[in-house]
Amino acid sequence: MLFITSKYLKPGMILAKDIFLYNNSNFNTLLLTRGQVLNNTFIDRMIYHEIDGAYIESDAFEDIKPDSCIDEVLKSKSLRRIKDVYNEFKVSSGKINTSEIRQLSSVVSDLVNELFYKEDLTYNIMDFKNFDSNTYQHCLNVAILSISTGISMGLTEHMLHELGMAGLLHDIGKMTVPLEILNKPGKLTEEEFALMKSHPTNAVNQLRNIVSFSVLSGIQSHHEKLDGTGYPHGLSGKNIHLYAKILAVCDVYDALTSDRSYRISAFPSEVVEYVMGCVDTHFDYDILTNFLKVIVAYPIGTFVRLSDKNIAVVVKNNPENIMRPVIRIINEDGTVGDDIDLLYDKSYMDITITDMAYDYDGNGLAGVLKSTIGMKIKTS
Ligand SMILES: [Fe+2]
């Protein structure tokens, strides 16, 4: 299957995966089912719901089957629980009862169980792109990424559970920060930024006797940076709790790869470059090394542009180096070329991926696309 952005979806294309709606009022609402032949109404509906794109059946890419991080039932259950706890925090001005936290804890146990026994921990960002960018989704993504990084680091099950709790609760303090400040497109005033910076402490003050000290430490320090330039306390190096250091990199990665009201998302590959550039200043080297094993720079099934101007589709990732995946070239005439392993194939060492080809305009890819996947487009 291939991931096609909504803008380039055409009537006749066949959906290769179910499409669910996740937003404030709808959790796990099935919008379109796998096998559905798209028509203009369906495509318009996807665009209306701001769905980035969809996996489409393609004969030439039949072998590409992106795995989901967690199953849909657990995803919707998790989002519902996070929403309940966060809303409770908001309406009760920070008061929260232990039964809500117990329910959240059971969600974390399910997440740890599911992720712990997965053969491939790779986080499929495309599974998480079709949602409204809201705090609940962000917290679930951060929890999944943190638990996965923790598994890669060999943390105990107990620690993974604490890390997951800290991930789900890390931004709950934002519920008492006014929305105008959270979503402000421009620069925050000093006063507004001070309010924003209070969200970790807001959370910790209210959760003090409800969750463990380690979970509190993770929440309290998730905006601290290794070099002491973070907030709220300007802690550095060893003084920052391990959980907070893990949350920090997952938080930044998810925030930058998601659309916000004040900016559009960056490509995963750009964010990978960014976080790698912040090693030892913002992020811990060992944690980052493990984090880079559970994410991908170029999601499989997506288009990339190469330094020799060719367009290719990512067919497999190399966990040893996420910047050099296995790709399948799309020829000028729309036929599909050989697979090239950018990491191990010596004759292609000089080829680099220059960017993700999400935008097919201006390079003839639209035509290529049509002929490449045309064979699986139904005409009647
Ligand atoms: Fe935060």
pLDDT in tens, 220-260: 999 999 999 999 999 999 999 999 999 999 999 988 887 66
Residue 277's contacts (CB-CB under 8 Å, 6 or more residues apart) are none
Q: Model's pTM, two decimal places?
A: 0.86
Question: Do 213 and 267 belong together in one domain?
Answer: yes
Question: Do 43 and 13 belong together in one domain?
Answer: yes
Domain end call among 256, 276, 294 = 294
Ligand 1 center to 219 CA (angstroms):
8
Question: Do 176 and 44 belong together in one domain?
Answer: no
Helix (H, G, I), strand (E, B) or coil at 122: coil
Burial-class residue 187 by CB neighbours within 10 Å (0-12, 13-18, 19+). Answer: exposed
Domain end call among 294, 310, 326 = 294
Per-residue pLDDT at 362: 46
- Range(s) of the domain holding residue 139: 72-294
Burial-class residue 257 by CB neighbours within 10 Å (0-12, 13-18, 19+). Answer: buried
Question: Do 308 and 333 belong together in one domain?
Answer: yes
Ligand 1 center to 223 CA (angstroms):
6
What digits encode the pLDDT tens for the residues 260-279? 655 567 778 888 889 999 99
Given a cut of 50, is residue 378 above it in pLDDT? Answer: no
Ligand 1 center to 222 CA (angstroms):
7
Domain end call among 267, 294, 321 = 294
Helix (H, G, I), strand (E, B) or coil at 323: coil
Q: Residue 27 — pLDDT band, cuts 50, 70, 90?
A: low
Ligand 1 center to 201 CA (angstroms):
10
What is the rounded distance in angstroms from the CA atom of residue 166 to the CA atom of residue 107? 13
Question: Do 269 and 372 belong together in one domain?
Answer: no
Q: How far, in Å, are 77, 108, 284, 358 from residue 162 at the CA level?
A: 19, 9, 19, 37
Question: Do 164 and 209 belong together in one domain?
Answer: yes
Question: Do 124 and 212 belong together in one domain?
Answer: yes
Q: Residue 59 — pLDDT band, cuts 50, 70, 90?
A: confident
Q: Residue 357 — pLDDT band, cuts 50, 70, 90?
A: low
Ligand 1 center to 171 CA (angstroms):
5
Winning range, highest mean pLDDT, from 53-62, 343-352, 361-370:
343-352
Question: Do 122 and 262 belong together in one domain?
Answer: yes
Given a cut of 70, is residue 213 above it in pLDDT? Answer: yes
Question: Do 107 and 245 belong together in one domain?
Answer: yes
Question: Do 210 and 323 belong together in one domain?
Answer: no
Per-residue pLDDT at 379: 37
Question: Do 189 and 280 belong together in one domain?
Answer: yes
Ligand 1 center to 255 CA (angstroms):
10
Helix (H, G, I), strand (E, B) or coil at 312: strand
Ligand 1 center to 211 CA (angstroms):
18
Residue at 30: amino acid letter: L
Question: Do 15 and 138 belong together in one domain?
Answer: no
Average pLDDT of span 166-175:
94
Closest CA to 313 of 295, 296, 326: 326
